[in-house]
């Protein structure tokens, strides 16, 4: 075995390594020449030479899309709200008008019913008048006896009942019309017969009442049935 001095092998290896060509280290930096250069534009109004108002106007013109969409939705909702408000007001007006008409119709119906009842009660007053008139004729044609005194008392009692009944009717606004001596009025009177007269001033004047007429307020509840004086035809 040959004894070689230490370090001889290492010297050979070092010489071999020295004989190799030195390789350039790998370049890890990326080449940025392929990417476009970043361009920054300063749009501040004092830089671009614009006024503040022009810059503000341009800013509003460049609103983001979602802002424009929100504004459009808000405008649509506002139009829809105004439409609902207009419909509500129209419906409320129609309801108020219908309520007024309903109340008026109910009041008119009640008034018609009341007048119909009061008109029926006038027949009772007519019967009182006939009974009183018949009793007066009997008392005038009879003598003052015990029977005549009883008839007079009965007549007085019937008259009191009739007057009380008329007072009750006046509480409902019903009043008897005074027709005798008045000029005939077809809106107030109903001519049943005529009575001849020689006085021209009495022509067309009511000479007698066959059935009393009544008013309720300013309206005629029942016209009076009357006899009218007329001049004889020449």
Query: Does 33 score more than 80 pLDDT?
Result: no
pLDDT digits (tens, 9 = 90+) for 196-226: 998 889 999 999 999 999 999 889 999 999 9
User: Tokens 């007085």 sit at which residue?
Assistant: 156
SS3 81: helix
Question: Please, what are the domains in the chain?
Answer: 174-234 (2.30.22.10)
Give the model confidence (pLDDT) of 46-78 as tens digits.
555 555 555 555 555 666 787 888 888 899 999
Higher-pLDDT residue of 102 and 147 is 102
Q: How confident is the model at residue 12 (pLDDT cuts 50, 70, 90)?
A: very low
Q: How confident is the model at residue 18 (pLDDT cuts 50, 70, 90)?
A: very low
Note the pLDDT of residue 100.
94
Alpha carbons 32 and 23: distance in angstroms, whole number: 24
- Identify the pLDDT of residue 95: 94
CA distances from 220 to 63, 115, 189 (A): 78, 10, 10
- The pLDDT assigned to 94 comes to 93
Strand 224-230 to 189-196 pairing: parallel
pLDDT of res. 134: 85
State whether residue 228 is helix, strand or coil: strand
- Report pLDDT for 53: 59
d(C-alpha 33, C-alpha 29), whole Å: 12
pLDDT of 32 above 80 = no
Report the alpha-carbon distance of residue 89 to residue 91 in Å, rounded. Answer: 5
Identify which of 205, 224, 191 has the alpha carbon closest to the alpha carbon of residue 122.
224
pLDDT at 2: 45
169 or 22: which carries more pLDDT confidence? 169
Please report which helix (H) or strand (E) contains residue 196, including its range: strand 189-196
DSSP 116-127: HHHHHHHHHHHH
The pLDDT value recorded for residue 61 is: 60
User: Which pLDDT value is given to residue 80?
Assistant: 93
């Amino acid at each position: 075995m040959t004894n070689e001095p230490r370090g001889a092998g290492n010297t050979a290896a070092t010489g071999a390594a020295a004989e190799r060509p030195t390789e350039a280290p790998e370049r890890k930096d990326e080449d940025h020449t392929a990417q476009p250069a970043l361009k920054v534009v300063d749009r501040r109004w004092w830089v671009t030479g614009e006024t503040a108002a022009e810059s503000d106007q341009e800013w509003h013109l460049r609103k983001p899309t979602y802002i424009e969409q929100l504004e459009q939705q808000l405008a649509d909702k506002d139009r829809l709200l105004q439409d609902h408000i207009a419909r509500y007001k129209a419906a409320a007006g129609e309801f108020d008008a219908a309520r007024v008409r309903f109340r008026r119709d109910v009041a008119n119906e009640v008034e018609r019913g009341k007048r119909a009842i009061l008109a029926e009660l006038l027949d009772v007053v007519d019967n009182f008048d006939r009974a009183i008139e018949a009793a007066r004729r009997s008392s005038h044609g009879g003598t003052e006896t015990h029977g005549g005194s009883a008839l007079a008392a009965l007549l007085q009692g019937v008259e009191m009942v009739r007057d009380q009944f008329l007072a009750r009717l006046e509480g409902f606004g019903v009043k008897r019309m005074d027709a005798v001596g008045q000029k005939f009025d077809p809106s107030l009177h109903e001519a049943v017969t005529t009575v001849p007269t020689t006085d021209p001033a009495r022509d067309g004047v009511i000479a007698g009442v066959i059935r009393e007429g009544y008013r309720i307020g300013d309206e005629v509840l029942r016209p009076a049935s009357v006899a009218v004086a007329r001049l004889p035809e020449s």
